[in-house]
Amino acid sequence: MLYMARLLEPEPFLSESTVLPVIDVRSPGEYAQGHIPGAFSIPLFDNGERAIVGTIYKNSGRDAAILKGISIATPKIPLYLQDLRKAVNGRKILVHCWRGGMRSEHMAALFEKEGYEAGVLTGGYKAYRRFVRASLGRPAVVIVIGGYTGSGKTEVLRGISELGCQAIDLEGLACHKGSAFGALGQAPQPTNEQFENNLYKIWSAFDLSLPVWMEDESRMIGRVTLPDPVVEMIDRGILVRLEVPKEIRARRIVSEYAGFDANLLAEAVNRISERLGGARTTEALEAIGSGAFDRAAFNMLTYYDKAYNFAIDRRPHVRKIPFDLPLGIDEKTPARIVAFIQEILRHGTYLPRF
């Protein structure tokens, strides 16, 4: 060690990160793959420099790699300090690299010489990732908002969150609405690693003695894969199935997607053409091309309804509770559902098994 660092295990490190800035000294490529939410990137080496030092370490050993690293980093010290001053206002910071090794040690020592008090993550980002995966496996009573496509599940979940309930918008975190059309109008999806990090940040703030609300999701949301423990909690949760007439659901689909370019809609249809079948694909494309979005939506819902039923039938542990909404959802629906579930939990009839 270069100095007597204040070493922190992942849990206290993350606890302090709620009030102190986190400085990630890994390379930009490592940071882009996944980082602690809110962390500032001040890389000791850029991507190319990291590769050079790594190659020297492999071919010539540790001492040669250290000397090369020093020769790269020394001229950049003013830039590191300049970036730090831009990133933080106070004098207390948290620092980490990949494994809690020399990169974080050197940068923390540098920052300490400039009058900063630095805490270093023991085991680095690698230890943080292990901690995240383990924490997402902590059991909870999960209430799942389900129902056919177009039922308004996301809107209901948002309303439940606004009532003060513990809710996670998995599709919002994944930047994808889950269907073939789910990427339309969304920001680029995060990496799977970053999705889990963002999910943990929300999960860690919850009191798991109280219910957690989520939308019903399959394992994949676009290109993002849900962690196994989350999938299992959804599968074993209490499923509130919104029962909304198909006509109302079709109108909701039209309101959400009809404003997008017809070519983008057609591309989405073609991506699932094998599952739709030739006749239904042709009909959907013709309807989109002629602007008959109601007909296109009704056509697509026939496919998505069958797919949803198939997925539900393959989950024997899910506890399905229908919630009839013959006129669709409105501003009072979230409160009605919360009160409905609170009554059920009070009697303990549908408590999930762990």
72/49 Cα distance (integer angstroms): 8
Q: Which one from 97, 118, 165, 338 is the annotated catalytic residue?
A: 97
SS3 30: helix
- Give the whole-angstrom CA distance, residue 236 versus residue 239: 9
Distance CA 324, CA 86 (A): 54
Measure the CA–CA gap between 240 and 145, rounded to whole angstroms.
Answer: 5
- Collect all residues with Cβ–Cβ distance below 8 Å to 106 and sequence separation of at least 6: 2, 44, 73
Give 162-230 as a DSSP string.
Answer: HTT-EEE-HHHHHTS-SSTTTTTTPPPPPPHHHHHHHHHHHHTTS-TTS-EEEE---SEETTEE--HHH
Instruction: Assess whether 97 carries a catalytic annotation.
Output: yes
Distances (CA, A) of 269 to 63, 148, 182, 265, 286: 57, 18, 12, 6, 11
Tokens linked to 143: 């209430």
Active-site positions read 97
